[in-house]
Structure formats: C-alpha cells, structure tokens
Amino acid sequence: MATGTYSIEQLIEVNHLSAVEFGLDTIADTLRADVAAHNEIVSQNLSEMCAVTTDRRRIYGASQDGEMTEVDEFGKAQTVLPVHGADTEYPLRKFQRNVGWTNDWLATHTPADMALAVEGAKKAHLVNTTTQIKRALFMPANYSYVDQFDDLSTLSVKRMVNADGDPIPDGPNGETFDGSTHTHYTANATLTATVATALVDNVVEHGFGTVRLAIARANEAAWRALTGFEAYTDSRLSMVDGDPVKRLNYSRIDNRPIGIYGAAEVWVKPWVPAGYATVFSVEGMNKPLVFREHPTFKGLRIVAANPDYPLYVQFMESYMGVGAWTRTSAACLDFTNASYTSPF
C-alpha cells in the first residue's frame, strides 16, 4: 500500500498496480485535492464575466427621474417614485460524466486509469462551463426554465438587453432608453468601422467606463484593418527601455490583448465564435452574467453513494446555470448576417 502525498501527475505514472493494491485512501486524497484545485481555477476564470452566487433571482433595471424641480422659498417638490426594475433569474442544471468505478473496476484498473478519467472530467467540466457562458451571452432570446432542483417554479431567464420591454436604467447624463426597442444584439453583413464603433458605444453609453472588446482569432486581421484600431507593439521588435507602450503577448495568440479600438481594449479570446464580437464591462460590480451554483454541491465533484467508500462511484458531476444580470453591461455583434443570428 502506498503512503505519503501524491499529485495527479504522479498517479498517471502508476500503471503497474491495481487501484486496490496501490491504496484507495491515498488515491481518494489525491483526487480530492486535485479536483479542489481545479474548481478554484474555474472560479477565477469565471470572475471576468460572471458574478458567482447561489441566488436564483435578482432585480435589475431600477432607475429614477434625473430632474430637479425649482421651487420658491416655501415650495415643496412633488414626490418622485422610483421606476422599479425587473427580475433576472438563473437556471440550475446538472451535468454528469460517467466514470463507472465499481468494485470490479477498481480491482482491475490502475491509479493511472483513475487519474486520466479525472483529467477527462476536468476538461469536460471546463468546456461545459465555457459553453454555458457563451450561450448565455451570445443567444439573444429570453426563455423559461422550470427550477427542478428547488421548488419547481418557472423562472424567466433573460439575455442582455434585447427589446423585451423590461425597464432600462437611465444613462449617466440622464439619457433614457426605450425597453421595447433598445437592443444589445446588432448585426451587419460585413465588419465596418461604423458598426464596430456602435458596438462599443452600445455599452459605454450606459455609463461603463472600463470595457473590453472580445473577438475570435479568425477575425483578428479584419479588426486590425479597421480605421481607428491602435495596435499594441510586439515586444520582440521593440525593446526600448522606459517605453510606456503596452507590449503584445506573443506566447498565447488566442487569448491576449492586441490593441485599442475606441474606448475598448481589444482581446482575442478562444471562446468567441468566428464572425461575432462582444463588448463587456470589466468593472467589479457590473458583471454581465450570473453563474448560479448549488448551495451545497459546488463545482466539479466525485460523487460517492457511500462516504465510507469514496471511490466506489459512477459519476463525476456539477451543477451550474448562467443568465444575464447587468443586462446593459455587454453587447454582441454578428458581422456575417444582415440580422442577428444566434451562433448556437
């Protein structure tokens, strides 16, 4: 039986003993620690776009008339009632990956087999998390969802602002927006400077000062060609001491900032569909999305029916759901179709 502390990488090297011979307790401790580290990384990745919570409902869109009323010495302005916001609600779904670790399986498979199964589940969990975020951001239509893991009530899951009639907060200078016509899902059959500028302005006009424009790597050349695009300098070509110009990261070409367009820093992102772009706020309190997790079962888990036998399991699973929260803090552009078409 093995003793001591192991990493997932070390378990992958153990392919000459069965899991039972190596020691199930040792394997269980290693896998629990590895999955916990994975969940922490996923949580950090979510912070760019999502507020993570167990809430299933929040209120967004409250606003006040921005005008003051002039009165005389004895005057009293009329009471102004607030315009109440609308609910934003978030689904909670359950996802599984079957590992099938029965008594017979553990007696005939190695720690390496188990470690590779966990690695596969971790990758699937990360891909699925990204997929749920992309769908919540780029799909334009609201929908209903029965909250099957709570009280079976029907939730109204919202997208970003999409002309559904919900109230929209006034802009920073008192601008008003018609909730029945204002939308953050726009389209044009080609990418032009006009539609690119409108995409950025669609978020900035709501008072968000720090915004990021995310594009697909496949469209990088087209964005660089736009009038007004200011590219970052490649550090391999310019190494002047004290130069304040931000340098281009050449080590990860599918996930890096490449320049400035208007008020936005432009990032190539691996999760943006080709032919689409999105602008979103990166200010701390104005996340575009909410990532809902289970109040008890958080992150990716190794699910054992009996806690005394933590590796006799059939599944690894996670609960998650994503919906729009600050509905004005992100906007999407489809520049391959004349009208916005969902990429999924």
Structure tokens at 306: 């009996």
Distance CA 120, CA 335 (A): 35
Q: Which amino acid is at 231?
A: A
At residue 73, the pLDDT reads 73
Distances, alpha carbon 243 to alpha carbons 159, 238, 240, 309, in Å: 42, 9, 6, 60
- What pLDDT, in 10s, does the model give residues 259-301? 999 999 999 999 999 999 999 999 878 899 999 999 999 999 9
Q: CA 258 to CA 22: how far, in whole Å?
A: 49
pTM over 0.85: yes
Residue, of 82 and 31, whose pLDDT is higher:
31
Contact indicator for 124, 118 with CB cutoff of 8 Å:
no
Spatial distance between the Cα atoms of 235 and 256, rounded to a whole number of angstroms: 13
Fill in the amino acid letter for 227. T
Sign of the torsion formed by the C-alpha atoms of 176, 179, 181 and 185: positive
Helix (H) / strand (E) containing 322: strand 313-324
CA atoms of 282 and 65, how far apart (whole Å): 27
- pLDDT tens, position by position, 45-95: 899 999 999 999 998 866 555 566 677 777 777 665 555 568 899 999 999
pLDDT tens digits for 96-153? Answer: 999 999 999 999 999 999 999 999 999 999 999 999 999 999 999 999 999 999 999 9
Model confidence over 214-267: pLDDT tens digits?
999 999 999 999 999 999 987 666 555 555 566 677 667 788 999 999 999 999
- Planar angle of CA 219, 225, 227, nearest 5 degrees: 130
Residue 146: C-alpha distances to residues 54, 155, 317 (Å): 16, 6, 20
Segments of 111-209 assigned E as strands: 143-146, 154-157, 185-187
Which amino acid, residue 324? A
209: confidence class by pLDDT, cuts 50, 70, 90: confident
Mean pLDDT of 20-46: 93
Q: Given a cut of 90, is residue 322 above it in pLDDT?
A: yes
Which residues have CB under 8 Å from 307's CB, separation 6+?
A: none
**Type of residue numbered 8:** I
Give Cα 16 to chain centroid, integer Å: 41
Rounded to 5 degrees, what angle do the CA atoms 56, 50, 260 make? 150
- CA pair distance 212, 218, nearest whole angstrom: 18
Mean pLDDT, residues 172-182: 92
Helices (H), 82-192: 103-108, 111-138
Mean pLDDT of 320-328: 96
Rounded CA separation 42/63 (Å): 34
- Rounded CA-CA distance 118/316 in Å is 8
